[in-house]
Amino acid sequence: MTNTNAIEGGAELLRRHALFHKINDAALERFLNVLKVEKYQSGDAIIREGETGNRLYMISSGRVVIEKKVFNKEAITSERIAVLQKGETFGEMELVDTQPRSATVRALEDTTCLSLSSEDLHYATEDDVMTFSQVVMNLAREISLRLRNTDVWLAGSLFSIRQRD
C-alpha cells in the first residue's frame, strides 16, 4: 500500500459518491483535507477478517474482492462474497461499531481507495451537525442496502438448499 495526498477529481469525485450525497461544497473541502489516498497492488489485502480497524474505503479505481472464512468439517476456506468496483464502498461498519472486521478485502487488480477514519469524520464535521447527520444517514443507507442484498442472497441460498433436500 502507498499513501498519497492529492485526490484526483477533488470535490467532484466526492459529490458523485453516495456517502457524500447532499453535502455542500464547504463540507466537501473539509473532507478532502482528511481523506487519505491509498494505493494497492493486485493481491494486496486491504483489510483482514478478524482484525480491528476504524476506516471505511471508497474505491476510486480498480476492483476488490470480499472474502469470508467458511468453517466446515474438513477445513477452513475462504469464499468469495462479492466483487466491488469504482464508486463502491467497504468497511462501513467500522465507523459505526468497534467489532473486528467481518471479512477480508483484497485488491483484484491495482486499486486506489480513499479512506476515512471515524476520527476524520468527526474532525471534518465537528462544527457542522447538519453535515455529520447527513453523512451518518448516507452511511446508514449504504449499510441498509448491503443488508437487503444479503437478505435476498440468503433467502435464495436457503431456498436452493431446501430444493436439494
Residue 84 pairs in a beta bridge with: 64
Q: Is the confidence at residue 32, as pLDDT, over 70?
A: yes
Q: What percent of the chain has pLDDT over 90?
A: 50
Q: Which amino acid is at 79?
A: E
Contact 44, 106 (CB under 8 A): yes
What per-residue confidence (pLDDT) applies to 135? 93
Please give the full DSSP string across 123-134, using - where no structure is assigned: HHHTT-HHHHHH
What per-residue confidence (pLDDT) applies to 5? 52
**How do residues 85-143 score in pLDDT, each as one tens digit?**
998 899 988 887 878 898 999 999 999 999 999 999 999 999 999 999 999 999 989 88
- The pTM for the full model equals 0.81
